[in-house]
C-alpha cells in the first residue's frame, strides 16, 4: 500500500486529553510511525525506514543534505520530549513519544520505536478512537493545523465542539499567543484554511466574548462526503507534495 494512504489510528483520550507542543516535522514523523501500526499488532514494534522514503512521502527534496541533517536533529529533539495526558479527573502524567532512535548513515536508514507507555492509546483499539488517512496532514505547513485537525476530527461525530480559548491554546501548543488577535491571525485562520483545503472535514469557528475577552471558541464540523470534494482535495494535496525538485529543495 502507498505509504501516503496508510491510516493513523489513535484513541480519543490520547487526542482529547493530551497537551503537547511539537514542531511541524516532529508531528509528521510521529504520525508516520503511528500509521505503520497494524490492527493486529500486540506490541509497539521498532520500525525501520529510509530517510529518502520519508522525504518522498512528505514531498521533500530527498537528495538535499540539509534534509538528512535536519531529520537527525529533529529525531534527537523528539526523543527528549514528552506530552502531558490526563489519566483521571485532576490527574495528569507524562508520556514519552519515542523509546529510542538508531541511524545508519551509510544506508540512510532510521530505526525508531515508540515508547511502550503509549500502547493503551495506539494498540487493539475497539471503541472511542479516531482514524484518518496520513495523506491529509502531509501537505499542511502549520504545526497548529495538524493538531487542530486531529482534535476536531475526534469530535466529528458531534458536528461541533466548544473549547475555552485558553484551554484550546494549551492543547495545540499555542499558549505564547497571549493576544486574541494574534492567536486568530497566526494560528486559527491559517489552521482553518489548511484544514478546509487539505483534509476530509470542513470547519468554521465563532469566538464567544465576555466583556473584552474572547473566552470560548465554538467550532462547526462537517464531513466532506461528496466524491467531487474528495477528489479536489486529493488533487490539491498531490499538487503540493509532488513539486519539482527545485521547488522542494530546502523546504524544511
d(CA 170, CA 182): 15
For residue 60, what pLDDT is reported? 65
What grid cell was written down for 113? 520505536
d(CA 175, CA 165): 10
Tell me the pTM: 0.89
For residue 56, what pLDDT is reported? 76
Topology (CATH) of 3-248: Arc Repressor Mutant, subunit A (1.10.10)
Do 29 and 54 touch, CB atoms closer than 8 A?
A: yes
Q: In what order do the strands lie in the sheet with 201-210?
A: 160-164, 213-223, 201-210
d(CA 195, CA 212): 29
HEC sequence for 17-39: CEECCCCHHHHHHHHHHHHCCCC
The number of residues making up the chain comes to 252
d(CA 136, CA 200): 7
For residue 73, what pLDDT is reported? 86
For residue 156, what pLDDT is reported? 96
DSSP state of 235: H
Q: What is the pLDDT along the chain (252 residues), one digit of tens a residue?
A: 466 678 999 999 999 999 999 999 899 999 999 999 999 999 999 998 888 887 777 766 555 567 777 888 888 899 999 999 999 999 999 999 999 899 888 788 889 999 999 999 999 999 999 999 999 999 899 999 999 999 999 999 999 999 999 999 999 999 999 999 999 999 999 999 999 999 999 999 999 999 989 999 999 999 977 778 888 888 888 888 876 344 444 444
For residue 65, what pLDDT is reported? 65
d(CA 173, CA 25): 15
Of the candidates 53, 12, 13, 15, the residue with the CA atom closest to the CA atom of residue 32: 53
DSSP state of 181: H
For residue 251, what pLDDT is reported? 44
What grid cell was written down for 55? 522525504
For residue 116, what pLDDT is reported? 95
- C-alpha to C-alpha distances, 143 to 28, 159, 182, nearest whole angstrom: 9, 23, 16
Amino acid at each position: 500500500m502507498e505509504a501516503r494512504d496508510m491510516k493513523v489510528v489513535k484513541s480519543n483520550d490520547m487526542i482529547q486529553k493530551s497537551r503537547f507542543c511539537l514542531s511541524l516535522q516532529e508531528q509528521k514523523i510521529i504520525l508516520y510511525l503511528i500509521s505503520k501500526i497494524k490492527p493486529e499488532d500486540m506490541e509497539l514494534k521498532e520500525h525501520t525506514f529510509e530517510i529518502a522514503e520519508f522525504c518522498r512521502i512528505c514531498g521533500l527534496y530527498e537528495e538535499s543534505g540539509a534534509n538528512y541533517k535536519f531529520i537527525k536533529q529533529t529525531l534527537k529533539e523528539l526523543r527528549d520530549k514528552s506530552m502531558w495526558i490526563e489519566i483521571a479527573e485532576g490527574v495528569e502524567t507524562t508520556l514519552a513519544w519515542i523509546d529510542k532512535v538508531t541511524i545508519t548513515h551509510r544506508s540512510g536508514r532510521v530505526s525508531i520505536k515508540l515508547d511502550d507507555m503509549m500502547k493503551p492509546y495506539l494498540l487493539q483499539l475497539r471503541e472511542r478512537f479516531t482514524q484518518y488517512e496520513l495523506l491529509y496532514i502531509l501537505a499542511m505547513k502549520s504545526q497548529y493545523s495538524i493538531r487542530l485537525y486531529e482534535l476536531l476530527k475526534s469530535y466529528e461525530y458531534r458536528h461541533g465542539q466548544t473549547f475555552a480559548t485558553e484551554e484550546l491554546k494549551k492543547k495545540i501548543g499555542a499558549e505564547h499567543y497571549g493576544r486574541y488577535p494574534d492567536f486568530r491571525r497566526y494560528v486559527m485562520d491559517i489552521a482553518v484554511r489548511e484544514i478546509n483545503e487539505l483534509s476530509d472535514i470542513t470547519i468554521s469557528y465563532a469566538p464567544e466574548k465576555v466583556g473584552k475577552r474572547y473566552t470560548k471558541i465554538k467550532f462547526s464540523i462537517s464531513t466532506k462526503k461528496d466524491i467531487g470534494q474528495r477528489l479536489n482535495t486529493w488533487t490539491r494535496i498531490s499538487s503540493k507534495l509532488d513539486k519539482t525538485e527545485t521547488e522542494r529543495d530546502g523546504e524544511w
